[in-house]
Amino acid sequence: MLSRRIVMPHIPVRAVAGLDDPVAIDGRVVGHMAVSSAMRDSRGALIPGALAILADWGLGVAVIDSDHPAMLTTHLHLELTGPVPGHLTMLRCSAGLRRIRGTFGLAESTITDENDNVLGYATLGAMLVSAQDQSITTHISSSPVPEFEDVDALLQTRVRRTTADGADVSFGASTDLANAYKIIHGGIGAMMGGRAIDLALGTGGSTDLCLADLRAVFLRGIPVSSGEIDCRVIVLHRGRRLAVARAELLGPDGRVAITVDATYTAG
């Protein structure tokens, strides 16, 4: 078994999400998330959207480790095998490159718990860019890792309005959520959309519905320190056994920056 550690930039989101330096093992990239309170809801349960952060991290590394210095995620698709156990303390992502075609790359991954139980599968598409095209932050901060009571403290979640048809939610564009390009990390953006949909549908302890699949598309970056991020949720269907909704996160110019579509099924 051939293995080597892949040393990645110490970007802010790594600290709050508990992401390690991945290891390349026999053609795959393996990374871990040490689950902190920032990845849990107010009841202390791991939120499924946290898997999107780990998936984006591992899949992105799988793409750029193929001799391409930098990339920007175009889409991220997460499929879950069932309800995510809320007590988990460690997550693992094993990612592999599917194909590089011109300036576009595809990668796939399997996400497991610390006992190798499969929690879900994820795929990612990315546009390849040269390192010179982006201002990449590699600064290693000497500040202590910030601690957050729960995911809503991390995201600075604020529910402005909820109706049967959707919700208006806002999040904070904190520097703690940045990727190497000083914009909101793709996995964080996916988690924001998923969290807004959770709040719109009222999923959690009072419902039998659980997340089955989540698909995020990244149209443009949202700069950190740009104030509040507005998010509107549209509930497309809400039934006893199936619910479907879409979240749209807006950039500072009011245009849609990230779309997140989610499907929920009876657990």
pLDDT in tens, the chain (267 residues): 677 888 777 788 999 999 998 999 988 999 999 999 999 999 999 999 999 999 999 999 999 876 666 889 999 999 999 999 999 999 999 999 999 999 999 999 999 999 999 999 999 999 998 765 555 444 444 456 678 999 999 999 999 999 999 999 999 999 999 998 899 999 999 999 999 999 999 865 446 899 999 999 999 999 998 799 999 999 999 999 999 999 999 999 999 999 999 999 997
SS (H, E, C) the chain: CCEEECCCCCCHHHHHHCECCCEEECCEEEEEEECCHHHECCCCCECCCHHHHHHHHHHHHHHHCCCCCEEEEEEEEEEECCCCCCCCCEEEEEEEEEEEECCEEEEEEEEEECCCCEEEEEEEEEEEECHHHCCCCCCCCCCCCCCCCCHHHHHCCEEEEEECCEEEEEEECCHHHECCCCEECHHHHHHHHHHHHHHHHCCCCCCCEEEEEEEEEECCCCECCCCEEEEEEEEEEECCCEEEEEEEEECCCCCEEEEEEEEEEEC
Residue ranges of domains in the chain, CATH in brackets: 3-130+151-266 (2.40.160.210)
Q: Supply the pLDDT for residue 7.
A: 74
pTM assigned to the model: 0.92
Residue type, 115: N
Q: State both tokens at 89.
A: 């303390």
Q: State the Cα–Cα distance between residues 215 and 193, nearest whole angstrom.
A: 10
CA distances from 154 to 40, 126, 228, 245, 263 (A): 10, 26, 13, 23, 24
Which is it for the CA torsion 237, 238, 243, 247, positive or negative? positive
Q: State the Cα–Cα distance between residues 233 and 33, nearest whole angstrom.
A: 28
